[in-house]
A and B are shown apart, each in its own frame.
Chain A
Amino acid sequence: EAGVTQFPSHSVIEKGQTVTLRCDPISGHDNLYWYRRVMGKEIKFLLHFVKESKQDESGMPNNRFLAERTGGTYSTLKVQPAELEDSGVYFCASSQVHEQFFGPGTRLTVL
């Protein structure tokens, strides 16, 4: 069974550009989560989907971040416009109950 996949694995963009990260959860997992780790800090929760609905987006840092989950399958996280402080690793996870399975992460570098 395939695990959680994320694309791209790395992204390097300039300040002010737009980047879209993609996450494909494990098939059949209704819950999908986004987390991120900025340099030297803890891994922090961003938001949680149940199917296509946002259940909790309390961790989203500001309105430059937009997450979607069309049809309750894969999810995208768009950062527009990107700022220097957005650099870090963005993790996606999916679950059926309380054990979350994490993807390999997307390393975002904003220059």
Chain B
Amino acid sequence: AQSVTQPDIHITVSEGASLELRCNYSYGATPYLFWYVQSPGQGLQLLLKYFSGDTLVQGIKGFEAEFKRSQSSFNLRKPSVHWSDAAEYFCAVAARFNTGGFKTIFGAGTRLFVKA
């Protein structure tokens, strides 16, 4: 069965420090992978996506993620965290329906706290 695991429920980093959020997926075929961010009171915003090609993908707000097929991972990174990055982050995989089309399977989310 398709699934996404985010092992860290919450992470606290200092402003200016580097960040890595972990994500592992289980999916039988080539995955379409996403990272979304949800700030308090806001909707889901797409940070970046991986469909094919270069396994290191760049996103908005200085985020990047690396797809590692051998590890079934798609970890999100940022070299220097800003206080405004405090939010909840969701890793997701697009799973194909039997009838065609896709649905998004989300991880449980990682809440990021940024301390001054």
A interface list, Cβ under 8 A from B:
31, 33, 35, 41-45, 48, 50, 55-56, 91, 93, 95, 97-105
Contact = CB atoms under 8 A, between A and B. Distances in A.
A98 B109 contact: no
User: Interface centre among A31, A50, A100, A104, by most B CB within 10 Å?
Assistant: A100
Contacts of B49: 99
B97 A102 contact: no
B42 interface: yes
B104 A33 contact: yes
B97 A56 contact: yes
B102 interface: yes
A98 B105 CA distance: 12
B107 A42 contact: yes
B56 interface: no
B107 A98 contact: no
B40 to A, nearest CB: 12
Chain A at the B interface: SS class: strand
Contact of B36 (A55, A56, A95, A102): A102
Nearest to B109: A42
Nearest to A50: B101
A91 B44 contact: yes
Contacts of B46: 99, 101-102
Contact of A45 (B36, B90, B104): B104
B43 A48 contact: no
A56 B99 CA distance: 8
A42 B106 contact: yes
Given A98-B94, A105-B43, A55 B101 contact: yes
B63 interface: no
A91 B100 CA distance: 21
